[in-house]
Amino acid sequence: MIDPDHIDGQNTHDEAHVLEGLDHLRRQCERRGLDLDVVRQRLARFEVAIPSWGVGTGGTRFARFPQAGEPRSVHEKLADCAVIQQLVRCTPRVSLHFPWDHTDDLAGLREEGEALGLGFDAVNSNTFQDQPGASLSYKFGSLTHTDAAVRRAAIEHNLACVEAGVALGSRALTVWIADGTNFPGQQDLSRSFERYLESMEAIVAGLPEGWMALLEHKLYEPAFYSTVVSDWGSSLLAAQHLGPRARCLVDLGHHAPTVNIEQIVARLVHAGKLGGFHFNDSKYGDDDLDAGSIQPFQLFLVCHELVQAERRGALPTDLATMMDQSHNVTDPLESLMLSAVALQRAFAQALLVDHAALEAAQQSNDALVAAEVLRQAFRTDVDALLASVRQEQGGALDPLSTYRTSGYRARIAAERPAPASGGGGGIV
């Protein structure tokens, strides 16, 4: 990890202008009748998980350009996640993906995480690629395959993921399937969804007490004509069919291009079926770009729905939030740090909405003022607040510059010679 003295030294250097920004924000809040300390306390509890595969370089279906120091094992992935958490202090859990992160010693891995200050978030199953030595193929589907033996293999894999998750202290299983078709008529659209429900029933029945199944939908890719769980409607139908232990997961990149995601969030809250998020950003489709890098206002509006739901007591306290991004041209650790901060920023801005003014404008049908109340919160510069919350928890006022001047990347590049195959991690 990074030498704490290095973090302290950088913080001393950055402290003056953070205090100046904080003073300004406090005066702004006072003018708006908001209590900055209340905002600060809620913000300090904001957390988002790191995907283990996110610390390796991503890629596209064309190529992958691995960088020096790529993690070659789940242990090295944890080490990288620990550095992110050390600097930003809102990423205390890692989400593992099986079998990519397979280890025979799960108890040891849990201890290793604890020693690094990390816990384990939702576990992710993988039935979108064939595993070495597997006798059955997922080429034409997994949980929805026409062959019951393939469906059984996919169910067993998911249950094995749950077992691994139990050993790690996780509380949720995220299920995304690549099942779908490339041609009209290739499969019966009704029967494939029925097979999905039947398979998921078996998985949900195998969940231990207190566990949740998160259903992740996706509009297209790798199937390009139809996917079995294509949209939030299908996801909600399935979650309602499967009962209280199944909920919907919203990946920001998995919707139709013009869909109103914040409204989907509001509907899922209403149905009691919001289970979690995969945060990322996109311009065209499932681009998996860094959270907040393309449409920060949309991210703010999603956070606004969460804050509203929490104020009404309607937000589940066990929401599973994770970053799900692919870092093709940046140092993944830098992207994940800045994305975690971008999420924290959007959430902080949502906490700064003047709810009384918003409600009054809505009641009197003053569309302009209602929109302006939201925009005023969105325009508020909260960087000093985020920095001081991080520092209070032992993190860095400026995570990016502290990371860059620490020499961590150069150190791991020397310690982790690239394997001949070009590095671990998948194209995600």
Q: Which is nearer to Mn ion, 302 or 412 (CB)?
A: 302
Indicate the DSSP class of residue 57: -
d(CA 282, CA 288): 6
* Interface size with Mn ion, residues (CB under 5 A): 3
**Shortest Å, Cβ 229 to Mn ion:** 12
**Shortest Å, Cβ 253 to Mn ion:** 7
**Residue 360 CA: distances (Å) to CA of 53, 233, 314, 348, 369:** 45, 32, 21, 22, 9
Q: Which is nearer to Mn ion, 54 or 92 (CB)?
A: 54
d(CA 193, CA 228): 6
One of 121, 286, 324, 398 touching Mn ion (CB under 5 A): 324
The enclosing H or E element of 130 equals none
d(CA 219, CA 111): 38
225 neighbors 184 (Cβ within 8 angstroms): yes
The enclosing H or E element of 284 equals none
221 neighbors 180 (Cβ within 8 angstroms): no
Q: Which 273-292 positions form the footprint of Mn ion (CB under 5 A)?
A: 278
305 contacts Mn ion (rule: CB under 5 A) = no
List the structure tokens of 210. Answer: 């207190």
**Residue 283 CA: distances (Å) to CA of 255, 256, 290:** 12, 12, 11
Single-letter amino acid code for the residue at 141? G
Residue 340's CB: how many other CB atoms inside 10 A?
29
**Shortest Å, Cβ 155 to Mn ion:** 21
Stretch that binds Mn ion, among 144-152, 292-300, 318-326, 403-411 (CB under 5 A): 318-326
Stretch that binds Mn ion, among 46-54, 82-90, 158-166, 322-330 (CB under 5 A): 322-330
Q: Which is nearer to Mn ion, 121 or 251 (CB)?
A: 251
User: Strand 172-175 vs strand 212-216: parallel, antiparallel, or unpaired?
Assistant: parallel
One of 80, 101, 251, 281 touching Mn ion (CB under 5 A): 251
Stretch that binds Mn ion, among 37-45, 131-139, 191-199, 323-331 (CB under 5 A): 323-331
Q: Which is nearer to Mn ion, 128 or 224 (CB)?
A: 128
- DSSP calls for 305-363: HHHHHHHTT-S-TT-EEEE----SSS-HHHHHHHHHHHHHHHHHHHHT--HHHHHHHHH
User: Within its chain, how far is the Cα of 369 from the centroid?
Assistant: 33
Q: Which is nearer to Mn ion, 43 or 306 (CB)?
A: 306
Stretch that binds Mn ion, among 192-200, 230-238, 270-278, 328-336 (CB under 5 A): 270-278
**Shortest Å, Cβ 332 to Mn ion:** 16
Q: Which is nearer to Mn ion, 21 or 54 (CB)?
A: 54
**Shortest Å, Cβ 335 to Mn ion:** 16
Q: Which is nearer to Mn ion, 68 or 294 (CB)?
A: 294
Stretch that binds Mn ion, among 112-120, 180-188, 316-324, 357-365 (CB under 5 A): 316-324
**Shortest Å, Cβ 173 to Mn ion:** 14
Q: Which is nearer to Mn ion, 77 or 278 (CB)?
A: 278
d(CA 42, CA 241): 34
Stretch that binds Mn ion, among 5-13, 34-42, 48-56, 321-329 (CB under 5 A): 321-329
Q: Which 195-234 positions form the footprint of Mn ion (CB under 5 A)?
A: none
d(CA 87, CA 26): 24
Kindly give the interhelix angle for 106-115 and 148-168, rounded to the nearest 10 degrees.
40
Which residue's Cβ has the minimum distance to Mn ion?
278
Stretch that binds Mn ion, among 196-204, 246-254, 302-310, 329-337 (CB under 5 A): 246-254
d(CA 270, CA 240): 13
Q: Which is nearer to Mn ion, 291 or 382 (CB)?
A: 291
**Shortest Å, Cβ 350 to Mn ion:** 22
Q: Which is nearer to Mn ion, 323 or 374 (CB)?
A: 323
Q: Which is nearer to Mn ion, 79 or 252 (CB)?
A: 252
**Shortest Å, Cβ 107 to Mn ion:** 28
Which residues of the shown chain bind Mn ion in the complex (CB under 5 A)? 251, 278, 324
